[in-house]
Amino acid sequence: MSHAQNAVLQLNKAGSSYFVRSYAKINLTLDVLGKRADGYHELVTIMQTVDLYDTLCLTITEKDCVQVICSRPELSHEENLVVRAAQMVRRSFSLTQGLLIELYKRIPVAAGLGGGSSNAATVLLALQQWWRLPLSLPDMLAMAASLGSDVPFFLRGGLAVCEGRGERITPLAPHWPTKMRWLLLLKPALGVSTATVFRSLPASDYTNGTCSQAVHTALAAKGQLHLEHLHNSLERGVLEQYPEVAQAREALLRAGAPCVQLSGSGPTLFAPFSLLDTAAHVQQRLRAQGYEVYLTCAIHPNGVDISFF
């Protein structure tokens, strides 16, 4: 560690805390192109950050360890990605100061909304900024990719095309279609394992990426976005394997959603709306049926304005 870092680290005494938000994402498209030799699947997916977030409070401790306390007790363990992210940073700089991570979860868990990946990216960014660590973007991206395929996206967030196993990010300008100004997220009452969903994906569900290409082109040109171009290669299998998700999809359509799609490996479904009152009305109808439904919107986490078209 250099003297400069030492000087900065001395400012952060045991007991000082840093609060930060960690946002969820949806997958506007997710094309699985095929299976790779390393067991992962080759993807093209367009992801967008949404205004649904967990809150993290990082506190420096005198113990030489990282501990997480989560509002969902089943996540308070050292395999939690936030602990692995913090340990990675501490190891890289041979830091001995300990860290307590308090994690208030609002993003549903194992839901296809990237909550765990977002939490890990948030810890990397928070420690880099708070402790002013000389971590370059390539360093951060490599650390993020080693934690999980979705983690690199969350280092910047916003709107991006993600390729490879999901870790190769091309940021897009923050333009978003007006017809998707409001988003309902419906989380069926089950958790789904990403690994299981990918493992049971038949080759007949692979695509050549044309849907992602069409949506990318429309977003880049601020042209018409056709809702029928929204596609998720994992959706057919998830709807077949988990009837609760298929029922929830029907319920959303019956309640007035113009279109419904699975986010990531699910089971969360999202539906876009141009008008807030329509979205709120549909949310109310679904909540009356006992569904867990969030009303949210696309955002850029760094406060950048989104222009709608």
Q: Find the shortest distance in angstroms from Cβ 243 to ligand C5P.
A: 23
With CA atoms as reference, report the closest residue to 209 among 11, 81, 90, 32: 32
Q: Which of 9, 31, 41, 80 is in the footprint of ligand C5P by CB under 6 A?
A: 41
What are the tokens at 184?
Answer: 């309902």
Would you count residue 149 as binding ligand C5P (CB under 6 A)? Answer: yes
Separation between Cα atoms, residue 239 and residue 142, nearest integer Å: 34
Which of 108, 112, 115, 148 is in the footprint of ligand C5P by CB under 6 A? 148
Distances in Å between the Cα of 81 and the Cα atoms of 86, 180, 255 are 9, 31, 37
Q: How far apart are CA 277 and CA 156, in angstroms?
A: 31
| β-pair type (182-187, 261-262) | unpaired
CB of 195 to ligand C5P, least distance (A): 4
Beta pairing class for 182-187 and 292-296: antiparallel
Residue in 21, 84, 132, 165 binding ligand C5P, rule: CB under 6 A: 165
Sequence-distant (≥ 6) Cβ neighbours of residue 230 within 8 angstroms: 28, 29, 211, 215, 259, 261
**Residues carrying an active site annotation:** 25, 150
Site string for ligand C5P, 195-214 (x = CB under 6 A): x--x----------------
Q: Which stretch binds ligand C5P (CB under 6 A): 11-19, 66-74, 190-198, 211-219?
A: 190-198
Q: How far apart, in whole angstroms, are the C-alpha atoms of residue 302 and residue 288?
A: 35
Q: What sign does the CA torsion over 155, 160, 164, 165 have? A: positive
CB of 35 to ligand C5P, least distance (A): 8
Mode of pairing for the β-strands spanning 66-70 and 98-104: parallel
Of the residues 194, 213, 241, 274, which one makes contact with ligand C5P according to CB under 6 A: 194
Binding segment for ligand C5P (CB under 6 A), chosen from 12-20, 39-47, 70-78, 98-106, is: 39-47
Residue with Cβ nearer ligand C5P (131 or 198): 198
Residue 258 has what DSSP assignment? S
Shortest separation between residue 264's beta carbon and ligand C5P, angstroms: 10
Does residue number 40 form part of the binding site for ligand C5P (CB under 6 A)? yes
Taking CB under 6 A as the rule, does residue 112 contact ligand C5P?
Answer: no
Residues that bind ligand C5P (CB under 6 A): 40-41, 43, 148-150, 165-166, 194-195, 198
